[in-house]
Amino acid sequence: MDKQNKSDQEWLKILTPEQYKVLRERGTDPPFSNKYNLNHDKGKYFCAGCGNYLFDSQQKYDSGSGWPSFTQPCEPGAVEFVDDFSYGMQRIEVVCAKCEGHLGHLFNDGPEPARSRYCINSTSLNFQSS
């Protein structure tokens, strides 16, 4: 996959302030009141920064966490992982493989068999219904 490298000034021109805060500054949506937490429509989720296809609604489930949660990405290589040691804890950050925008975090408390919960910020996503 070709990486999409842009300067901060370029990102500021194409992203909303909220998208910039989440995707480029690693911000977080408020729980339970974000755009896609309760979305149950069928479709695809794309990176709000670059349009990369990330998640399918078939892998979305209600984790009760307050953020959209998925059991896996749409395909291997759609996302990448970064060790995150912020806030005095160790987590696995999930980023878009194309633009390296912050999407959320991966936790091991999801449903069986993989137990993966991709906890993703709505602001980092665009949804297209099918």
Catalytically annotated residues: 119
Q: Give 19-50 as a DSSP string.
A: HHHHHTT---PPTTSSTTTT---SEEEEETTT
CA 34 to chain centre: 13
CA 85 to chain centre: 18
Task: State the first-to-last Cα distance of the chain, in angstroms, to the nearest integer.
Answer: 25
